[in-house]
Structure 1
Amino acid sequence: MQIRIESRSGREVVKGGLELPDDATVADLQAAFHAKIKKFYPSRQRLTLPLGPDQKKATVLESSKKLSDYFSKTSKPVVVFKDLGPQITWTTLFVMEYLGPLLLYPLFYLFPQALYPWAVNSQISANRHDYQFYALLAWEFHYAKRILETLFVHRYSHDTVGYYFLLKNCTYYWGFALVISYFLNNPLYTPVSETQMLVGFGIFAVAQLSNFYTHLILRNIRPPGSKGYFIPKGFLFNYVTCANYTTEIWAWIGFNIATQTLMGWVFIVGGATQMTIWAVGKHKRLRRTFDGKDGTVKYPRRWVIFPPFF
């Protein structure tokens, strides 16, 4: 089977195409492509079929399928290639974005003399509150948990992601870690009442444990190496499509109730907005995939992310 690989503009990417056995898989094609052009390793390749006359979205070739699933023996196979750019694993991305907050936040608590040079030592010690220490413990627990979940719990439907996301995500998480810690550990920080602190950290603790449980549920419904979509069931997933995001949002609501900084609220508004966009997309995909037609299961009626509002 002779495969022509071209760019979206129609330019031939591999001169003369690639010759592959009739029973070759898409993964074999990716490996042969990589052998010809070394920088285009398989995870950097996006291979699709050419768009049909009335087709708006291209068909992506799945690496596990055979080329014969897409092309007949009499056809002249053409594959459209898009360079996804340099890739990193999801594990690397998440560890890096969470490691920053874990290490940066404690600096303002541990070294106030160096980072608040305008404050004299007596002012720093007189204005140090127990609540700031509790906030430090909560913050460190959260990001240590996220790193451990990344290493030992999460499974991903895709192996890699573009380097761009490393820069974007680290800028968000590391930047907010610095500004939240700066204001929360500031000698001029005014703590909330004890009741508000206890309520806030109580919400945080319950939400964190619930969030961990939702991640275990998601892990257990996705067998190792599996692709595609699954319907999560059990616990809060019986009511909310993205219960993992719901509990994440509530954890940060609790943290901000207990600590009450402007930048903390800005952080959760930004995070909740992004999670809501992801949740809407996932909810639509699940409803589209499990539409109850042709013998498929119908996706149950659920809230998207934040009952009873959305």
Structure 2
Amino acid sequence: MGKLEVASRSGRIITTIDINGEATVSELKRKFQSYSRKYYPARQRFSLPVKAGEKRGVVLEDGKRLADYGLAEGGRVDFKDLGPQIGYSTVFFWEYFGPLVVYPLFFFFPQYLYPHIKSASPPVHSLVQKLAVAYWCFHYAKRIVETYTIHKFGHATMPIFNLFRNCAYYWGFAAYVSYFVNHPKYTAPNQTLSVACLGLAVLMQLGNLRSHIILANLRAPGEKDYKIPRGFLFNFVSCANYTFEIWGWLLYSVAVQSLAAWMFAATGAAQMVQWAIAKHSRLRKTFDGKDGRPKYPRRWIIFPPFL
């Protein structure tokens, strides 16, 4: 057995742990939990001390041995408390379940949600409104099913704050968009155009589903090593799943002709573009064609021919 010092990021020694260099980082986390029960493994992050010229130390990965990082008797690791954690699938379920419930409320219960609109009889919904609520529910039902049957997460948990932030975004926009699209005084645009756009939007969602299946098959659960996505639109675009997602919401916005829908589409697209640029950069850096690694092919990032 050897002794390993655990320090805070400020350099203060928190405790010393007896552990063999052949032990894994996961075993280190279980040992450290015995020091303080509140620091369950998902809440812990260990890294090597920051070296001169570095901004941050190398983060220790769960499956690797301490010896892989050169940690021996008298070594030191820095500890960071990641805060209370929650499972990815739990966050995804609640952020998608909200819009699935909130949006239809304005469609089915206008008498309660538009009390200022005086009418002798309930409003008659146009075909566009009916198809719009069907598309919206299909999209979020699909997302929930994907969460439990397709998606594979590189990390098991995320900070619990993300649950409240993500739910505020999705639930808030669901109410905002639905309020105007299902408003009793809503005037439906050209029906032929709207039906065609929503039909194409469904095809975009199916393309998004196909893209998620391809990504899910790239690695086993818990793996962090990236592989080059190939096939389907991935032969031309690095983040085909985001491409289909953006096109789906743009088509929905054209179909319903609502400023609220356009704002939702633009906000989501802006976030996905940021994620796509980061992922494209990571793929190019990982697959640089050196030391036997394949070279990442030339592709658009997310939105040909512009990006």
* 1:238 paired to 2:239: no
Amino acid paired to 1:7: S
Amino acid paired to 1:8: R
246-255 vs 18-27, greater mean Cα deviation: 18-27
CA distance in structure 2 between the partners assigned to 1:249 and 1:123 by the alignment = 38
Pick aligned residue for 1:121 from 119, 122, 130:
119
Q: Which runs of 4+ in 1 moved over 4 A?
A: none
Shift of 1:208: 0.7
Q: SS at 2:202's partner residue?
A: helix
The sequence identity of aligned pairs, in percent, is: 48
CA distance in structure 2 between the partners assigned to 1:121 and 1:154 by the alignment = 46
Pick aligned residue for 1:273 from 267, 270, 276:
270
- 8 Å contact kept, 2:21–2:71: no
CA distance in structure 1 between the partners assigned to 2:57 and 2:239 by the alignment = 28
CA-to-partner distance for each residue in 1:182-235, whole Å, 9 max, x for gaps?
Answer: 111101101110222122112211101100100110111112231221211100
CA distance in structure 2 between the partners assigned to 1:124 and 1:238 by the alignment = 50
How many aligned positions are there? 306
Aligned runs of 1:121-140 on 2, under 5 Å?
121-122=119-120, 124-125=122-123, 127-140=124-137
Aligned runs of 1:203-218 on 2, under 5 Å?
203-218=200-215
- 8 Å contact kept, 2:219–2:225: no
Aligned runs of 1:47-196 on 2, under 5 Å?
47-71=46-70, 73=72, 76-122=74-120, 124-125=122-123, 127-196=124-193
CA distance in structure 2 between the partners assigned to 1:217 and 1:94 by the alignment = 20
Q: SS at 2:115's partner residue?
A: coil
Shift of 1:257: 1.0
TM-score normalised by the chain length of structure 2: 0.97
- 8 Å contact kept, 2:8–2:79: yes
| CA RMSD of superposed structures (Å) | 1.2
- 8 Å contact kept, 2:128–2:195: no
CA distance in structure 1 between the partners assigned to 2:279 and 2:14 by the alignment = 34
- 8 Å contact kept, 2:204–2:248: yes
Partner of 2:5: 4
Pick aligned residue for 1:219 from 192, 199, 216:
216
CA-to-partner distance for each residue in 1:82-122, whole Å, 9 max, x for gaps?
Answer: 11111011101100100000011111111111111122334
CA-to-partner distance for each residue in 1:228-276, whole Å, 9 max, x for gaps?
Answer: 2121110000101000000000110111111111111101111111111
Q: SS at 1:78's partner residue?
A: strand
- 8 Å contact kept, 1:199–1:254: no
TM-score normalised by the chain length of structure 1: 0.96
Shift of 1:72: 5.1
Q: SS at 2:152's partner residue?
A: coil
Uncovered stretches (5+) of structure 2, i.e. residues with no partner: none
Shift of 1:56: 2.4
CA distance in structure 1 between the partners assigned to 2:66 and 2:40 by the alignment = 19
Q: SS at 1:13's partner residue?
A: strand
* 1:24 paired to 2:41: no
Amino acid paired to 2:140: Y
